Structure 1
């Protein structure tokens, strides 16, 4: 079982980050880490990234000032999510391909409003990552 790796690295990254969505980024990080005790974190692609048992499955995208994106992926090797593997009753996912999807948040309130649904999605996604 992998332990949470180097949370201070992510904390230091966020402390130095000047981003209009700072509060949403911090809240989204909390929601993700609370989804499963096995989730570790680090910095990948110049943003917080999350993994379980060494396999990365989610990375924040911090390019936009008005929105925060969470990219769900199946790691470096191309593979497809099995049909019907992810139940998304709240319609949070925008599929970019068979191996990637995003969730978009407009701010802290949006993250909070969808926290439970997001955690359910993350648990499902991790089972396939």
Structure 2
């Protein structure tokens, strides 16, 4: 099926199927946790990786500000990083988010399935914190 006829969800599924088998299940688990956090989260391929964004109502903004983007996966060399482009705005008391980048992004790093399971609640907490900023 040509790429342009696939839905964004099908494109993400197809992308994940091509990922190294050693981390594929971990990626799929993260995907389910993220999508399961809120019905206002959708997925697409952005910057050549699965990404997740807010689908609810928002005031107009400059698209270069990436205000809709919640998480973009970075799956380079079997490393599993979730990049939160505006993660600095989140009051993360869980300790999940790492880094102190000037552009405001923060990272969540996962080593394996056990790490995902251990951090699942913290991940959902951080996403809910991010979503709460959208309603203000």
Equivalent residues, number: 116
Tell me what 1:102 maps to: 107
Tell me what 2:74 maps to: 61
Q: Hey, what's the Cα distance between the residues in 2 that align with 1:18 and 1:87?
A: 31
| Structure with greater strand percent | 1
Q: CA deviation at 1:118?
A: 0.7
1:54-99: CA deviation from partner (whole Å, max 9, x where unpaired): 711101100132x310000139xxxx62xxx41323x111133252
Coordinate RMSD, CA, aligned = 2.2
Check if 1:23 corresponds to 2:36.
Answer: no
Q: Hey, what's the Cα distance between the residues in 2 that align with 1:37 and 1:115?
A: 17
Secondary structure, aligned partner of 1:49: strand
TM-score (norm 1): 0.79
Larger Rg: 2
Given the superposition, is the C-alpha separation of residues 100 and 12 from structure 1 closer, same or farther in structure 2, using an over 3 Å criterion?
same
Check if 1:112 corresponds to 2:117.
Answer: yes
Gaps in structure 1 of 5+ consecutive residues: none
TM-score (norm 2): 0.75
Gaps in structure 2 of 5+ consecutive residues: 1-6, 57-67
Q: Is the 8 A contact 2:42 2:52 kept in 1?
A: yes
Tell me what 1:93 maps to: 97
Q: Is the 8 A contact 1:10 1:48 kept in 2?
A: yes
The ranges of structure 1 where at least 4 consecutive aligned residues each deviate by more than 2 angstroms after the TM superposition are 16-20, 95-98, 126-129
